Amino acid sequence: MRRPDTHRSLLATLKGERQARPPIWLMRQAGRYLPEYRALRAEKGGFLAMAMDPAAACEITMQPIRRFGFDGAILFSDILTVPMALGQKLWFETGEGPRLAPPLTDGAAIDALAPGAADTLDPVYAAVRTIDAVLPAETTFLGFAGSPWTIATYMIAGQGSRTQEAARRLAYADPAAMARLVDRIVTVTIDYLAQQHEAGAEAVQLFDSWAGSLSPEQFERWVIAPNRAIVAGLRARCPDLLIIGFPKGAGAKLADYAEQVGVDAVGVDETIAPEWAARFLPTGMPVQGNLDPLALIAGGDTLARAIDRILAAFEGRPHVFNLGHGILPDTPIAHVEALLERVRGVR
C-alpha cells in the first residue's frame, strides 16, 4: 500500500531540494525516553520480541510521530536482524546488549554458517506494511539496515565491542575470509532493504556505527566498497529509493565516503564540525545531522547555541536536522519539544 501522494519535506530534501526550514527526525526517536514506550515494553517483554511483532513495531514507530510530529518515521527494528537471516541465533541479555551465536571467529566458522529460514525477516516486512497504512501522508517513512562492517563486528565477536578488535584482527589476518562474510552481508542487505522499500519505505539509512575504528586503507576496503556495492544493487532493483549513508566516526574520511559510495545524502556525527562538513562534502549533497545527544540533554542556552550553529552552517545546502547519534534514554521530553520549536522557527 502506498500513502497518498503529498509533499514530504524530508523526502524532498533527500532529493536535493533545500527547504525554508529543515525537516527533522531523530535517530532512536522511538525508545526508552518515552513513557509510552516503557509502558509497552513492560507489557510486551523484551526488545527483540517487540521488534519482530508487526503490531508492536508499528505502535512504537508511531509513538514519536503522534507526540512530536517529526517529518520522518523510522522503522522500529534492529540492525542485527540480518545476522539472523544469515543463520546466527540472536538474543538480548538484560543490561548487557545483544548476543549472537555461534561467534564467527575464523574462516571455517564463516563458511560453516548456514542461512536462516527463508521467512526470518517476514515480520519486518509485515511491520513496514502495517506502518505504511497508518502513517500520516506528510511523513516520510524510513527503513534501515546496518552496513556490512558494523554487522560483521557483531557476528565475529558474538556481541558488541568497544574496540571491534576481533573483527579488525580477522580482517588483517584473513582478509579473504572477511571478504566472504562481507559479501554475504551485502547480498542479504540489498534484498532486505529492497523488500522494505517494496513494502512501503520511501528512503533507507545505512548505519555503519563502527566505521570509525578502521584505518584509512581498511575503511576503503570494509566501509566504502561494501556500501558502494549495496547502493549499486539497490539502484538496479529500486531506482526511486533514496539512501542515506551514516558512517559514524569517519572523521575526514567522510568526504571520501560521500564522493565514492553513491548515497543520496550523508549523515554527519557530532564529532565533525558542521562548518567543515558544509565546506568539504560534495556541493549540493544533502546532509543530515549533527546535534550532540548530550547537548540535547543539557538543554537551555547550550542546546539553543548548538542548534543555531548547525542551522547556520548548513543554511546553503539541503539539510535534514538530526542528532549526531541516537537519542539517549535520559533525554527530557521538554528538551525535545524545545529542539523542535527552535528548528521550526517557533520562538
Q: How far apart are CA 226 and CA 257, in angstroms?
A: 11
Q: What is the pLDDT of residue 347?
A: 43
Q: Is residue 135 part of a domain?
A: yes
Q: How far apart are CA 56 and CA 72, in angstroms?
A: 19
**Structural domain boundaries enclosing 318:** 9-343
Q: Is residue 56 part of a domain?
A: yes
Q: Is residue 2 part of a domain?
A: no
Confidence of residue 2 (pLDDT cuts 50, 70, 90): low
Q: Is residue 157 part of a domain?
A: yes
Q: Model confidence over 237-269: pLDDT tens digits?
A: 999 999 999 999 999 999 999 999 999 999 999
Catalogue the active-site residues: 28, 32, 41, 78, 154
- Sheet order of strands, 265-267 included: 72-74, 140-146, 203-208, 242-247, 265-267, 287-291, 319-323
Indicate which CATH number applies to the domain containing 71.
3.20.20.210
Q: How far apart are CA 75 and CA 141, in angstroms?
A: 8
Q: Is residue 1 part of a domain?
A: no
Enter the pTM of the model.
0.96
Count CB neighbours of 249 within 10 A: 18
Q: How far apart are CA 80 and CA 274, in angstroms?
A: 30
E strands present in the chain = 72-74, 89-93, 97-101, 140-146, 203-208, 242-247, 265-267, 287-291, 319-323
Q: What is the pLDDT of residue 91?
A: 94
Q: Is residue 328 part of a domain?
A: yes
Q: Is residue 75 part of a domain?
A: yes
Q: What is the pLDDT of residue 93?
A: 86
- Per-chain mean pLDDT for the chain: 96
Structurally, how many domains does the chain consist of?
1
Confidence of residue 346 (pLDDT cuts 50, 70, 90): low
Q: Model confidence over 171-200: pLDDT tens digits?
A: 999 999 999 999 999 999 999 999 999 999
Q: How far apart are CA 224 and CA 94, in angstroms?
A: 34
Q: Model confidence over 317-329: pLDDT tens digits?
A: 999 999 999 999 9
13-to-184, 263, 285, 296 alpha-carbon distances in Å: 32, 13, 10, 23
Q: What is the pLDDT of residue 95?
A: 77
Q: Which amino acid is at 284?
A: G
Q: How far apart are CA 305 and CA 337, in angstroms?
A: 16
Q: Is residue 49 part of a domain?
A: yes
Q: What is the pLDDT of residue 1?
A: 55
Residue 316 has pLDDT above 50, yes or no: yes
Q: How far apart are CA 284 and CA 213, in angstroms?
A: 28
**Residues of the chain above pLDDT 90, percent:** 94
Q: Model confidence over 125-167: pLDDT tens digits?
A: 999 999 999 999 999 999 999 999 999 999 999 999 989 999 9
